[in-house]
Structure 1
Amino acid sequence: MASLLVPPPYSLPDHYDGWQLSWKFLVFRPAILRVQACLLLALLVYAGLSLYGKTANARKADRFYSVVLPLFSQQFSKPTSGLVSDGPSDFFVFSTGRRAISSLHTVLALRPRHDLLQFIWQYLWSAYDLRYEPFDALTFDFTLGSDAAAATPDFIWAVMRKSELTVIRDQRWDLQTFTRTANHPGLDSTLSVMSEFADVTETLVKLAPSRDSTPLLTLISSALPYLRVFSITDQPEERPSASALATKSKRVILTFDLPDDAQGVNRILPLLEGTFALVDLLATGRVTFRPETRAKIRKIREDVEKTVKEEEEKEKREEVLEDRRSAKRKAEEERFAKLGAADQKKALERERKRALKKSQGKLVRKV
């Protein structure tokens, strides 16, 4: 076995007319190592591209952070944790210390420029699947404080790029479960509204949260072409357990294409600054809906919570039944293993006849 694993000794060719370097009994013949040289060159190129991609991602993240830091410093008493990297392509900033906002998670999920193979795979897959669009994702996740959440009515409302509808519906349980999609005349033709009821949309489009009284829809449209999703939700993004539904939080989530330069980042700042003002407005309790709308929203959530609980209980019952079946099969296998050869043969014959009789009974009933 060891001889199979050890490669055979290399024998130098008798005739070598290439360039060589010799010193005493040492001889270096480069032409013999062409394959190794190509592999080493490929490794160096890959390492160089990886380092370049990692540096490029870090530069993009630093450029973004330098633009938004003044706004964060203005809005938060504890403005940021600083730009923290979680690998070569993921960065985040945690901000806290502001009225009405429990925390703000700023997440940059950049393309894997450090991994040439994965980067090429993304390009090839996007050419095959036209719905797949790799991009540098920038997400602002506002979690409302307890007082602000109590003053804010339960609802889900979102504005998103139409090209994102299929992807977002697959990724966002809250939007898929509670909302319907519609166009709105106050929005760009590339955007759609996802809302539970028309009353929710009518109330929110009238809001002017910015200091200069710019309407919310105008702020959202000003972030084009970088905006992908602007959403307000009281439900989790992923399908929750029954216990998690009782501890849900209220959030405002914005997702963008990360701009390539500081000028692009400045394009999204008005909407970001308006979101801080929107949270303050929600915290005052002045954003309300008609009583019948609130009753419908409450009824829908009760029905969804009931459905989630029933599905969990059904899954638990199925798990218990499966455990019992497994235990029964294991006991039968152990009992069969203890039988002698003759008894095992008889048991197998009985099982064969039982299965044949059962299949014949099914055939008769079908006829």
Structure 2
Amino acid sequence: MVHRLIGTTLALATTAVLATAEEQQNALTIEDFKLEAILSSLLILIVVIWYSGSSANGTKAKEWVASHIVFLEQQFAVVGNKAEKTTLVKDGPADYFLYVTDDAMCNLATGGSRSDLVGWVFALVLSLFGYADKPADKLVMDVTLDKEMDKAFVFAILPKDTAQSTRDGRFDLKTFTRLADSPKLPSNLVVYTEAQKLADQILSTKVSELISNSPDFKSLIITSQPDYEQEKYQGDQELKFHLTGDLSNRKEMVELACLLPDVLGDLQLAADTKSKLKKNREELEKKAAKLLADERAEELARKKADAKKAEADRVKSLSPAEQRKWEEKERAREIKKSQKKRTKRS
């Protein structure tokens, strides 16, 4: 009896010891939260970078507007959104738009990639191999000119190192322009135009001076054609220009954007230049007309084939007597058709 009691006591003690050891083994420590701590820290870091980057972008954009607002208000009747009583319109953490209206509608995008650390690093790596521009604050001005302006042409000033790829990637530049002489511009820029005289007229104004004196200038594209090939050629659209550069407090880029509408409006194209522009469009219209005629011919041939097949299927469903009657009718129609052809020849 005593032995049984001792054995039972020892068993219970052993079970208690094992349970205590298991509890100690399963007790949570700070080491168990290492992964959660790392992920939480990364999340906090991302939020901090996003917020600080977004705030820095806003500050940069506001500084740019403050340095140019007086000049812009002298040039345009309306600067900013008067209805909402705001000058800048935020479009995401890195983009801000400034709308000005008068003879033209201009939208201006500013901002960098400070709020997107991963994107910034990725773009920086690609830029080292020439596949992307180095991350930087950029200025983009898009201006659509007065609808009553009767000018229609394509013209571009592009960086020499990326000019060919830019031209090949745009329908308007690839289709209408050729490389032109540009002695009034820095050697790192090239000009594409529909006519040399057109380039000479534009660059004989203050445009070439502002571009030459602006370290911020990147590119200028003036076009009345879409940048992508449409399913059906629709001719010239409203003349507009796309001006890009680095963001800074220098005045040349803003002056250039304000000068261009006047320069383009005052252009007096020579007769041979107009003839060249007209020829370029007539060639494209002929190609579009031929393409349309080919498409119509294909559609007509397809409809005839479908009708012939449907008739053959119908005849198969007829009785033998009805099929013989149909064949006789077809032979008579073919004979009559051949007789008409002989009559026309004679």
**What TM-score, normalized to structure 1?**
0.67
Deviation at 1:316, TM superposition (A): 8.7
Which of 258, 278, 299 aligns to 2:247? It is 258
Q: Can you list the C-alpha shifts for 1:12-45, whole angstroms capped at 9, x where unaligned? A: 964469xxxxxxxxx8732321111111111111
Using the alignment, how far apart are the partners of 1:60 and 1:322 within structure 2? Answer: 61
Equivalences for residues 109-188 of structure 1 within 5 A:
110-127=111-128, 129-135=129-135, 136-147=137-148, 149-150=149-150, 153-188=151-186
**Structure 1 residue 95 and structure 2 residue 77: aligned?**
no
Shift of 1:57: 1.7
1:103 partner letter: M
In structure 2, how many angstroms separate the alpha carbons of the residues matched to 1:319 and 1:73? Answer: 57
Report the CA distance shift for 1:106/1:37 in structure 2 as closer, same or farther (over 3 A).
same
1:76 — aligned with what?
A: 76
Assess, with a 3 A threshold, how the Cα gap between structure 1 residues 45 and 254 changes in structure 2: closer, same or farther.
same
**Residue 44 and residue 238 in structure 1: after superposition, are their counterparts in 2 closer, same or farther (change >3 A)?**
same
Deviation at 1:227, TM superposition (A): 0.9
Residue 322 to residue 88, structure 1, CA distance change in 2 (3 Å): farther
Asked if 1:217 corresponds to 2:214, the answer is no
d(CA) in 1 for partners of 2:213 and 2:191? 16
1:315 is displaced (CA, Å) by: 7.2
- Which letter does structure 2 place at the counterpart of 1:279? P
Cα displacement (A) at 1:319: 9.6
1:105 lines up with 2:95 in the alignment: no
**5+ residue gaps, structure 2:** 1-20, 82-86, 306-346
Task: Tell me the CA shift for residue 93 of structure 1.
Answer: 1.5
1:276 aligned residue: 258
* Partners of 1:160 and 1:191 within 8 A in 2: yes
The SS at the match of 1:305 is helix
Question: In structure 1, what is the Cα distance between the partners aligned to 2:302 and 2:36?
Answer: 56
Cα distance in 1, alignment partners of residues 177 and 99 from structure 2: 30
Contact 1:105 1:141 in 2 (8 A): yes
Q: Tell me whether 1:67 sits opposite 2:67 in the alignment.
A: yes
Q: Which amino acid aligns with 2:47?
A: A
Aligned residues: 279
SS of residue in 1 equivalent to 2:106:
strand
State the secondary structure of the residue aligned to 2:104. Answer: strand
Q: Counterpart of 1:130 in 2: which secondary structure?
A: coil
8 Å contact from structure 1 (residues 242, 309) kept in 2? no
Q: Residue 92 of structure 1: CA displacement? A: 1.1
Cα distance in 2, alignment partners of residues 282 and 205 from structure 1: 11
Letter in 1 for 2:252: P
Q: In structure 2, what is the Cα distance between the partners aligned to 1:289 and 1:318? A: 42
Q: Give, as a single letter, the amino acid of the residue that structure 2 aligns with 1:190.
A: N
CA contact (8 A) 1:161 1:227 kept: no
Instruction: Name the CA distance, whole Å, in 1 between partners of 2:175 and 2:126.
Output: 29
Distance 1:320 1:40 in 2: 66
1:233 paired to 2:215: no
Q: What is the match of residue 195 of structure 1?
A: 193
Distance 2:254 2:234 in 1: 29
Partner of 1:41: 41
Instruction: State the match for 1:289 in structure 2.
Output: 269
> Deviation of residue 56 (structure 1)?
2.0
8 Å CA contact retained: 2:154, 2:177: yes
Distance 2:217 2:199 in 1: 19
Query: Given the superposition, is the C-alpha separation of residues 205 and 39 from structure 1 closer, same or farther in structure 2, using an over 3 Å criterion?
Result: closer
Whole-angstrom CA distance in 1 between matches of 2:295 and 2:59: 48
Larger radius of gyration: 2
For the 8 Å contact 2:157–2:220, the answer to whether it is kept is: yes
> What is the deviation of 1:217?
1.1
2:311 aligned partner: none
How far apart are 1:278 and its partner, in Å?
3.6
**How big is the shift at 1:243?**
6.2
2:195–2:276 CA contact under 8 A, matched in 1: no
Decide whether the 8 Å contact of 2:98 with 2:109 is kept in 1.
Answer: yes
